Amino acid sequence: MKNNTIYILILLMFCSCSTTRLIEPDEQLYIGIDDIEFEGKKEYASTPTGKLAISDIEEALASAPNGSIAGSSKIRGIPFGLWWYNAYANSKSKIGKWFFRTFATTPILVSDVNPELRARIAKNILSYYGYFNGDVESEVITQKNPKKAKIKYKVTMHEPYCFDSIAYIGFKANCDSLIKATIREQKVKPGNQFSASALTAERERINTLLRNNGYYYSQTGYIDLLADTINNPGKVDMRIMPKKLSAQIEQPYKIGNINIHILKNGENRLQNKGEKSVKFRRINYTYSGDKPPVRPGTMLRNIFLKSGRLYSQELQQKTLQHLSQMNVFNSINFSFTPREKSDTLDMSIIAQLERPYNFTFELNATSKSNSQIGPGSKISLSKSNIFRGGEELKISLQGSYEWQTNGALKGRQAVINSWEIGTDVSLSFPRLFFPIIHRRHLRVPAKTLLRVYADQMNRSGFFKMVHVGGEATYSIYTKSTTTHTVTPFQLTYDMLQRTTAKFDSIAASNRSIASSFRNQFIPKMQYTFTYDNATTEHRNKTWLEVSATSSGNVTSLLFAMFGEKWNKKDKNLFKNPYAQFLKLTTEIRQLYRINAKNHFATRLMAGVIKSYGNSSYAPYSEQFYVGGANSLRAFTIRTIGPGSYHPAQESRYSYLDETGTLKFEANVEYRFNMLGKLNGALFMDAGNVWLLKKEEDRPGGEFKLKSFADQIALNTGFGFRYDLEFLVLRLDFGIALHAPYDTGKSGYYNIPDFWDGFAWHLAIGYPF
């Protein structure tokens, strides 16, 4: 009772603090906006252009008040910052000044928001989208406390103007022919609602068209846009024409000499001393050292602007993209010099080499209240341009260690240790190595990856397993946002090195475990599609990956050609069985920008694996699992599922990993700035794994739609992220809300004790 009284007194003390005590008499504290009133919205803003206009207007009128929740202009929380401001703004003590600097926020006044100016900006936006007769009004609404005020906006929308006639006049014959030949790509069309952004897009289209056909000096400012809204009320007659500028702009240019200068890392200018020059086919190659740091043939293969051909902005960008994909240079600059009284441009490419070696280190640690704890790390060393053709050699070593101390383990080993260690060696080439595809046939950036790997896993008291393999992978970058990755060959071998009597007895009585852990080859083919617009100017970022993996089908086809039945069981490859399955996975991540310091991040992942033919069960290394620092953050990795199955601690299965053949996982995270480089996060994670078919030894593991919702593990939590620019340190605290198995407690919140569902994770980088 005493503690409750103290809390109430503290709360009353804060509530008694005025948030307007220091507001000047002629000022008012801004506390947000009312719902914006749109007159004529249904009649005149149902088009995509109208919806975009409303969105832009709402953004222009939005302004977050003190105590705003998630940057909202309407929803306010408790304005702690204002309380600290009013309490310590005039403090003379050191501690008072520290409180003021650390926690106080300056009051946002109505004059700071400037509603009249925002209304004028919103009116200009109406005109920008064709609502030339529209209007925006603002009104300051004083509250009961006269020092506080809200703002009310009224937006009046009338029928928008539409494009009528569109004419291109004044262009020279060659330019006019280019425009007419591409008229179907026109961004402004008669009958469409007027939009200044469409006019800007059309101007950029014409400029890009000209620059891709030799007009190097063309610019968007070279094109005039004249609109007539008087001659035909409600309609816009457009005239698109070139400005009368220098003759140089109207001259198409072709490429002359091509000069390449390679600078060492750290050099910031060309140095003649010690430089060497060689002539290689159509290029002049200048470098320092005994031999060219990048083979001239490799440079030429990635340059698409050719001597004697017209300049093209598209080919310049393509050249830059291909050279950048080599991951050899940290800067690439183009310069074009016109020859006197000529239609020729000499091109120079100045490229500075990247540092040849790159070292990365990742570390994460996990702890849970049930005494499960363990760190993990990954160390990588790479050498770029190892054969002077843009190749990269990368060697990685990763490992993790987990132990569990449990007082309930009476009469048994008190400490259960598990560890995993692996190595990975890869060699990548900035081109395709494929017999039937010549570099002339592939006009987009591509990469070939050759990789070998080995991983050893130890589950104390049960087994030790090794996972080794190799693969050849091809990545094709069709656009700046899309990647197609094809792995036509991947061969992996799983081998149990050691098992205990306990594991052997479990395997003898559980067919799925025996089959999943058998020594076997996994011959795979894989296709992956990736979409990532992180490098674009989109306000919200999207990352999507869809992958399909097939194992054993080509091998079985070869066996069938030699008389073996397709569905025959226990076919062997090199005297060992091989796995046969189909695996599909998809994952989408989205980052929604509220404002510069507030973001919502979401992730959704699903996967399924179906075994058939030569396999009754999917290999252990291919099965799905959830939990851990990047998954369900209140649950330890591989301790959830399948379904409602969960072995008791005293059971013979208690320390076997919990995996499945069907997976669903979802995460949402609100990220916000706290202080300087320190950011915070509130998150919620949900998910589980299931079995496609019933197993007697894992009751409740089979997927059933009617029990899907109740078998989704759910947790919430909070975390801190410290941004060091080159990496992000992350500390997350997960709080379990629902476990999919029987915990002995009824109700949706079935965690027996709060601390039973509490875990922390220390990691590097964002979870998704």
Residue ranges and CATH numbers for the domains of the chain are: 18-156 (no CATH), 162-242 (3.10.20.310), 254-353 (3.10.20.310)
* Phi (first) and psi of residue 102, to 5 degrees: -85, -40
Mean pLDDT across the chain: 86
- Does pLDDT of 351 surpass 80? yes
Q: What is the Cα–Cα distance from 69 to 750, expressed in whole angstroms?
A: 30
- Does pLDDT of 271 surpass 60? no
Q: Please give the pLDDT value at position 486.
A: 94
Q: What is the mean pLDDT of residues 605-618?
A: 88
Residue 204's pLDDT band (boundaries 50, 70, 90)?
Answer: very high
Q: What is the mean pLDDT of residues 517-531?
A: 91
Report angle CA 757, 760, 763 to the nearest 5 degrees.
145
Q: What is the DSSP letter of 95?
A: H
- Does pLDDT of 545 surpass 90? yes
- Does pLDDT of 314 surpass 90? yes
How many CB atoms within 10 Å of residue 243? 11
Q: Please give the pLDDT value at position 403.
A: 58
Please give the distance of CA 739 from its chain centroid, rounded to a whole number: 29
Residue 549's pLDDT band (boundaries 50, 70, 90)?
Answer: very high
Q: What is the Cα–Cα distance from 324 to 390, expressed in whole angstroms?
A: 10
Residues 6+ apart with CB under 8 A from 130: 49, 160, 161, 162, 193, 194, 195, 236
Q: What is the DSSP letter of 355?
A: P
Look up residue 356 and give its amino acid: P
- Does pLDDT of 371 surpass 50? no
Helix extents (H) in 326-475: none
91-100, 502-511, 602-611, 717-726: which has the minimum mean pLDDT?
502-511
Only one residue has tokens 């330019």, namely 175
Give the E-state strand segments of 254-318 in sequence order: 254-263, 275-280, 283-288
* More confident call, 50 vs 726: 50
Tens-place pLDDT, residues 451-461: 999 999 888 77
**Residue 50 Cα distances to 38, 85, 130, 147, 228, angstroms:** 12, 42, 9, 37, 21
DSSP codes of every residue in 686-738: EEEEEBSS--TTSTT-B--GGGTGGG-EEEEEEEEEEE-SS-EEEEEEEEEEE
Q: What is the Cα–Cα distance from 737 to 716, expressed in whole angstroms?
A: 7
Q: Please give the pLDDT value at position 180.
A: 92
Q: Please give the pLDDT value at position 404.
A: 47
Residue 508's pLDDT band (boundaries 50, 70, 90)?
Answer: confident
Residue 177, token pair as written in the block: 């022919």
Only one residue has tokens 């204002």, namely 82
Please give the distance of CA 255 from its chain centroid, rounded to a whole number: 38
Q: Please give the pLDDT value at position 430.
A: 87
Q: Please give the pLDDT value at position 656.
A: 66
Q: How many CA atoms lie within 13 A of 179 on its CB side?
A: 22
Residue 490, H or E segment: strand 482-499
